[in-house]
């Protein structure tokens, strides 16, 4: 499309900024010069106009993204203790194991393997009528010496009860046992023996109570006697699991009040076969996850995902496979989730134990189809055709669903295309806006910025490390750049406003930094920026939602990021209506950058060095004011309100800690606290504590 409008042309040029450039947004000399050039007022004055309102805050502003990445769900949420429980891998001695893949991005997420107990030659992989998958381990017995298989690395707690089951078949004369070992010595174990095992696969239950805590416990399946036995699959979970999920992390996620959960990917989705993710989990084939280089037992599928959403009280958002998957498969997936029992796949769902339709309303077609890391990567020309085909097929099944197209803006592509700009070649977002009207309701965007100074530009005397304010501003600057690009699209395609096309940042993270107070301030500023633009940005999903937890296989607590989410969703959450907030101290803006122009408009609120956003309750009963002070000094401001009168009492929720590195981690005393204060004499002159995040709730009198 030709650029004939000068402001639009300028916006196209300004949009050519990489996320890596954004991460360095304040890091150069120009940023320091701009900072020094701004004259600061002697007194910070803030004006809130209750009459100037924006689109109400949606529950979808605070969403979660959870990818079936490596062993992530398996470790963080799913209670299953055994890896590769359906034996995708052959059972081999440790010395014969293939080496770990050197390029695996998450080596700690790799599945544990099973090993022979006794001479390895007596354990073979039987391909004749396996229980599930392509083979099942068969153990040949002889005399009294036990032979079998084992898996180590289990985490057990003293006094905790564990329940499980195993599918076995055996020849006459075989005697099979299962054992849990939590240390050395004959007493540090418990064994359950099955005196009789049928010749066909039979489900046999068992339970244990751990006599001691052990982070390297072992589970064994052994046999004695004559003949052989074959293992179909085996399961071991803590007895207190809730529908297969760990109760602790479930309780914590529920307390955060996430508006939705996006599942199952991410990169994982492009090789995901949803047909194999439903039905009896024991009968689902295991598979290798090519995106994250690990084995999946295939236990957490669509039905389990819906159970998880129910347990944490959130809404589902499903991405369909538009990599190796097809439109027909996506349409059948919609039918499985939303169809009546009179439809083919609705009836299948009912047979799986879920007669009522799930009524999933939000669907995403594909994930990052432009990325070379994606299976089924394609260019914008062909992906637009694919998106439209998927949308037609899915809406024929359920016309009421909301469809999101997988877009990307120029800032995501400048690393590989120095000519990237709004509606330049390869702009997926523009491709949808040109060729897919009627086939989407919103367009997704993803961003990841590095929190590690020097990743994108090495520090030097000419390019110093960022200041605290510069560092915490990066995520909000990325969001602001996305919004500015969105407005450029709206000027090119005015129908976007009329059709209420919205943006969903359904993957984002400030990577490389620990979840401490410093990172919480960065995300708080980012929340403030999102809430300043609710007309365009109506959904967002944090990567990963369980990154709000500090967890092991047995314990979990909310980390500092989790407490921040909980603070905002409760006190700056859904239903509040953002109102105009202005001030007399604009944020400093850098003027130059090697990669292109900076955002044309100013990120942040004009209340430097503080960052603020204000919202009013639906019936104008109170004003909520969020304030981030990312400095080491207390700050004061004077608050004026137009369109209403402030009461003399207020409630304050304040997050702070003794230092920037203060954090909430397992095994340590909590360092970052959120305290509630009742202010009986609330005045217009307000003092903000250093390195803090405040949310005020101030009752309103009748407007004047």
pLDDT at 104: 53
Rounded Cα distance, 100 and 85, in Å: 19
Kindly state whether residue 16 falls inside one of the protein's structural domains: no
CATH of the domain at 636: 2.60.40.1180
465 by Cβ neighbours in 10 Å (0-12 / 13-18 / 19+) ranks as exposed
Residues 557 and 609 in one domain: no
Domain residue limits at 129: 94-238
Banded pLDDT at 588 (limits 50, 70, 90): confident
Residues 48 and 106 in one domain: no
Which residues lie below 8 Å from residue 123, measured CB to CB, with a gap of 6+? 91, 116, 137, 138, 139, 140, 147, 148, 149
Over pLDDT 90: what percentage of the chain?
A: 76
DSSP type of residue 282:
G
Residues 212 and 172 in one domain: yes
pLDDT at 597 over 70: no
Kindly state whether residue 21 falls inside one of the protein's structural domains: no
Kindly state whether residue 374 falls inside one of the protein's structural domains: yes
User: Do strands 315-320 and 260-263 pair parallel, antiparallel, or not at all (unpaired)?
Assistant: parallel
- Alpha carbon distances (Å) from 80 to 166, 205, 211, 239, 490: 13, 15, 20, 11, 48
CB 608 within 8 Å of CB 587? yes
Rounded Cα distance, 17 and 207, in Å: 58
Banded pLDDT at 5 (limits 50, 70, 90): very low
Banded pLDDT at 96 (limits 50, 70, 90): confident
Mean pLDDT of the region 13-32: 34
Residues 586 and 637 in one domain: yes
Mean pLDDT of the chain: 88
Tokens describing residue 275: 């047909």
pLDDT at 321: 96
Q: How many other C-beta atoms are found inside a 10 Å radius of the C-beta of residue 563?
A: 23
CB 170 within 8 Å of CB 230? yes
- Alpha carbon distances (Å) from 432 to 381, 443, 489, 566: 10, 8, 11, 35
Rounded Cα distance, 486 and 529, in Å: 14
Cis peptide before 277 (omega within 30 of 0): no
| 238, 270, 301 - which closes a domain | 238
Banded pLDDT at 682 (limits 50, 70, 90): confident
Q: List pLDDT tens digits, range 240-250.
A: 999 999 999 99
pLDDT at 587: 87
Residues 555 and 595 in one domain: no
Kindly state whether residue 516 falls inside one of the protein's structural domains: yes
pLDDT at 27: 31
Banded pLDDT at 684 (limits 50, 70, 90): confident
Instruction: Enter the pTM of the model.
Output: 0.91
Mean pLDDT of the region 139-164: 95
Q: List pLDDT tens digits, range 109-127.
A: 678 999 999 999 999 999 9
Residues 225 and 154 in one domain: yes
CB 565 within 8 Å of CB 87? no
Number of structural domains in the chain: 3
- Using DSSP, state whether 474 is helix, strand or coil: helix
Helix (H) or strand (E) holding 504: strand 502-511
647 by Cβ neighbours in 10 Å (0-12 / 13-18 / 19+) ranks as middle
pLDDT at 98: 77
Q: List pLDDT tens digits, range 519-539.
A: 999 999 999 999 999 999 999
Q: List pLDDT tens digits, range 423-472.
A: 988 899 999 999 999 999 999 999 998 888 654 444 445 556 788 998 99
Q: List pLDDT tens digits, range 284-342.
A: 999 998 888 888 999 999 999 999 999 999 999 999 999 999 999 999 999 999 999 99
CA 682 from chain center: how many Å?
38
Residues 365 and 257 in one domain: yes
Which residues lie below 8 Å from residue 382, measured CB to CB, with a gap of 6+? none
pLDDT at 410: 84
> Half-sphere exposure (CA, 13 Å, Cβ side) for 635?
26
Residues 601 and 674 in one domain: yes
State in Å, rounded, how far the first CA of the chain is from the last one: 50
pLDDT at 420: 75
Kindly state whether residue 469 falls inside one of the protein's structural domains: no
- Using DSSP, state whether 594 is helix, strand or coil: coil
Rounded (10°) angle between helices 380-397 and 428-435: 60
CB 261 within 8 Å of CB 316? yes
CATH of the domain at 268: 3.20.20.80
């Amino acid at each position: 499309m030709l650029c004939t409008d000068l402001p639009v042309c300028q916006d196209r040029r300004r949009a050519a900024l990489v996320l890596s450039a954004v991460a360095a947004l304040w890091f150069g000399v120009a940023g320091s010069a701009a900072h020094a050039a701004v004259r600061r007022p002697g007194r910070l004055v803030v004006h809130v106009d209750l009459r100037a309102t924006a689109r109400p805050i949606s529950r979808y502003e605070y969403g979660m993204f959870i990818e079936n990445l490596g062993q992530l769900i398996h470790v963080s949420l799913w209670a299953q203790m055994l890896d590769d429980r359906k034996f995708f891998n052959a059972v081999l001695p440790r010395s014969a194991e293939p080496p770990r893949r050197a390029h695996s991005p998450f080596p700690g997420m790799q599945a544990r393997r099973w090993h022979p107990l006794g001479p390895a030659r007596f354990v073979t992989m039987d391909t004749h009528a396996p229980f599930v998958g392509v083979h099942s381990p068969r153990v040949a017995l002889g005399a009294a010496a036990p032979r079998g298989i084992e898996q180590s690395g289990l985490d057990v707690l003293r006094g905790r009860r564990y329940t499980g089951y195993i599918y076995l078949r055996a020849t006459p004369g075989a005697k099979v046992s299962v054992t849990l070992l939590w240390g050395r010595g004959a007493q540090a174990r418990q064994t359950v023996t099955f005196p009789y095992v049928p010749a066909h696969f039979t489900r046999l239950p068992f339970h244990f109570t751990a006599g001691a805590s052990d982070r390297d416990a072992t589970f064994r399946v052994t046999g004695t006697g004559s003949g052989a036995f074959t293992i179909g699959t085996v399961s071991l979970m803590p007895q207190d699991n809730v529908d297969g999920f760990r109760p602790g992390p479930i309780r914590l996620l529920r307390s955060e009040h996430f508006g939705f959960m996006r599942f199952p990917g991410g990169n994982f989705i492009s090789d995901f076969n949803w047909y194999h993710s439903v039905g009896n989990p024991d009968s689902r084939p295991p598979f290798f996850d090519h995106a994250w280089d690990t084995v999946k037992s295939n236990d957490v599928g669509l039905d389990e995902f819906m159970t998880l959403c129910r347990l944490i009280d959130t809404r589902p958002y499903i991405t369909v496979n538009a990599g190796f998957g097809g439109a027909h498969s996506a349409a059948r997936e919609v039918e499985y989730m939303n169809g009546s029992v009179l439809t083919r796949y609705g009836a299948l769902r009912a047979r799986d134990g879920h007669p009522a339709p799930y009524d999933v309303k939000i669907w995403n077609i594909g994930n990052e189809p432009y990325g070379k890391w994606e299976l089924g990567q394609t260019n914008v020309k062909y992906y637009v055709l694919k998106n439209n085909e998927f949308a037609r097929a899915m809406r024929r099944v359920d016309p009421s669903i909301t469809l999101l197209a997988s877009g990307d803006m120029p800032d995501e592509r400048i690393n590989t295309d120095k000519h990237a700009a709004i509606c330049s070649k390869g702009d997926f977002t523009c491709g949808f806006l040109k060729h897919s009207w009627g086939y989407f309701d919103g367009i997704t965007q993803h961003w990841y910025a590095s929190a590690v100074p020097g990743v994108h530009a090495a520090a030097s005397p000419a390019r110093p490390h960022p200041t605290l304010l510069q560092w915490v501003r990066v995520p909000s600057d990325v969001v602001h750049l996305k919004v500015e690009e969105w407005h450029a699209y709206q000027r090119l395609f005015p129908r976007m406003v009329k059709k209420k096309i919205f943006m969903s940042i359904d993957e984002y993270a400030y990577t490389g930094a620990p979840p401490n107070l410093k990172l919480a301030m960065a995300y708080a500023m980012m929340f403030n920026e999102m809430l300043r633009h609710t007309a365009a940005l109506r959904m967002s999903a944090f990567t990963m939602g369980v990154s709000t937890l500090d967890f092991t296989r047995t314990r979990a607590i909310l980390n500092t990021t989790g407490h921040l989410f909980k603070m905002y969703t409760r006190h700056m959450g859904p239903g509040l209506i953002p109102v105009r907030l202005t001030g007399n101290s604009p944020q400093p803006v850098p003027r130059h950058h090697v990669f292109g122009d900076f955002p044309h408009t100013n990120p942040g609120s004009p209340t430097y060095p503080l960052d603020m956003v204000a919202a009013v309750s639906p019936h104008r009963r109170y004003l909520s004011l969020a304030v981030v002070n990312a400095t080491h000094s207390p700050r004061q401001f004077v608050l004026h309100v137009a369109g209403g009168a402030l009461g003399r009492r207020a409630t304050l929720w304040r997050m702070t800690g003794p230092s920037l590195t203060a954090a909430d981690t397992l095994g340590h005393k909590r360092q970052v606290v959120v305290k509630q204060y009742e202010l009986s004499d609330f005045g217009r002159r307000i003092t903000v504590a250093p390195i803090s995040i405040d949310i005020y709730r101030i009752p309103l009198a009748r407007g004047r």
